[in-house]
Amino acid sequence: MILVTGATGFVGRHLVARLQARGEQVRPLVRNTATAQRARAANIEPAIGDVTDPASLARAMEGVDAAIHLVAIITQRGSATFERINVQGTRNVVVAARAAGVKRLLHMSANGAQDTPRYPYLQSKWRGEQAVLESGLPYSILRPSLIFGRGDQFFTTLAMVVRLNPIVPIAGDGTSMFQPIWVEDVCTCFLKMLDDDAYLGRSFDVGGPEQLSYEDLVDIVMRVLGTRKPKIHVPIPLMKPLAAAMEALLPQPPVTPGQLDLLEIDNVTAPNPVPELFGIERPAYLQAKLGYIRS
């Protein structure tokens, strides 16, 4: 039995489908009965619980051989803080997995995770990693760069920005670097880590085959959408007040001040690492798989 936290999230939905397709017994962790009913309709028996509720995790871990921990937030709202979800939530998963005798814990962190207060999101991911590293469990950690695919937030939001604005704003100088990796390639990495003991006790920084600037990403989105619009570079200090207002007022703001701060550092890994690390011979290029943003 494989427990997947974050099973209804972007990566989780793709990964559960892949696990099902190969005949695995999957137990998605879901937060309410409505989501549980949808899972049952897809012939999956879920566990109702939350990473902030240790008792529910203890029940969810019963009879589990492997746990894949995907739950994380990139923006904070109300009680859903980095500390509560990314840090303590991971600690709760570790405690429950250890108590249940889980044989393998796979954890999704983030490329660039680091113990730096300047970047609270990356610091929270680093602290979550420490809980896994200190767990005493057989573990593998995946640290992907920017993930793209149907259901993502980044490129779907960027496509909306391109559609709605006659002049497309570029945050800062547009030179921040990314290494987008296709969600199905991320899922393949998890399946390899699930199957092969050679991945245990290790952390892996993964990105796709291209290192692209933020402005490159905007240009690719415009090409896929079949549009050409002028661009304007907006200094990040000028964008922050608007980002702060959107963070305060919108349930899913397109950008937050913390995300703008992340543009100060490049989100790249070694060039095209997944063929060597995971045997994915032809990892997907961004433009080839971005057609979902048209709809």
- Compute how many other C-beta atoms are within 10 angstroms of the C-beta atom of residue 23: 7
pLDDT by residue (tens digit) across 254-265? 888 999 999 999
- Average pLDDT on 235-252 reads 87
Evaluate whether residue 188 is within a structural domain: no
Query: Where in the sequence is the domain holding 167, given as residue range(s)?
Result: 146-181+207-270+281-295
Band of the pLDDT at 267, cuts 50, 70, 90?
Answer: very high
Do 159 and 285 lie in one domain? The reply is yes
Instruction: Quote the percentage of the chain above a pLDDT of 70.
Output: 100
| Selected residue with higher pLDDT from 250 and 267 | 267
pLDDT by residue (tens digit) across 173-206? 999 999 999 999 999 999 999 999 999 999 999 9
**pTM for the whole structure:** 0.95
Evaluate whether residue 186 is within a structural domain: no
Residue 222 has pLDDT above 80, yes or no: yes
Structure tokens at 278: 């995971």
Domain boundary among 90, 117, 144: 144
Structure confidence at residue 155 (pLDDT): 96
Instruction: Read off the CATH number of the domain in which 79 is found.
Output: 3.40.50.720
| Selected residue with higher pLDDT from 105 and 31 | 105
- Euclidean distance between CA atoms 1 and 285, whole angstroms: 33
Domain boundary among 126, 144, 162: 144
Q: What is the CA radius of gyration of the chain?
A: 19
Evaluate whether residue 99 is within a structural domain: yes
Do 121 and 219 lie in one domain? The reply is no
Q: What is the mean pLDDT of the chain?
A: 94
Whether residue 185 contacts residue 177, with contact meaning beta carbons closer than 8 Å, is answered with no
Band of the pLDDT at 153, cuts 50, 70, 90?
Answer: very high
Structure confidence at residue 198 (pLDDT): 97
Structure confidence at residue 211 (pLDDT): 98
pLDDT by residue (tens digit) across 90-129? 999 999 999 999 999 999 999 999 999 999 999 999 999 9
Residue 293 has pLDDT above 90, yes or no: yes
Residue 39 has pLDDT above 80, yes or no: no
Do 294 and 151 lie in one domain? The reply is yes
Structure confidence at residue 31 (pLDDT): 86
Evaluate whether residue 295 is within a structural domain: yes
Which ranges of the chain does DSSP label H, i.e. alpha helix?
A: 10-21, 33-41, 54-60, 82, 89-100, 120-133, 154-164, 183-195, 214-225, 236-249, 257-262, 274-278
Please classify residue 203 by burial: count the beta carbons closer than 10 Å to its beta carbon, then call 0-12 exposed, 13-18 middle and 19+ buried.
Answer: middle
- Euclidean distance between CA atoms 147 and 211, whole angstroms: 13
Do 166 and 285 lie in one domain? The reply is yes
Do 160 and 252 lie in one domain? The reply is yes
- Euclidean distance between CA atoms 78 and 61, whole angstroms: 28
- Euclidean distance between CA atoms 104 and 139, whole angstroms: 6
Structure tokens at 293: 């943003």
Structure confidence at residue 44 (pLDDT): 80
pLDDT by residue (tens digit) across 69-88? 999 999 998 899 999 999 99
Q: For residue 119, what is the DSSP state?
A: S
Structure confidence at residue 133 (pLDDT): 97
Residue 41 has pLDDT above 80, yes or no: no
Do 152 and 285 lie in one domain? The reply is yes
Do 245 and 220 lie in one domain? The reply is yes
Do 231 and 288 lie in one domain? The reply is yes
Cα-based angle 87, 75, 51 (whole degrees, multiple of 5): 35
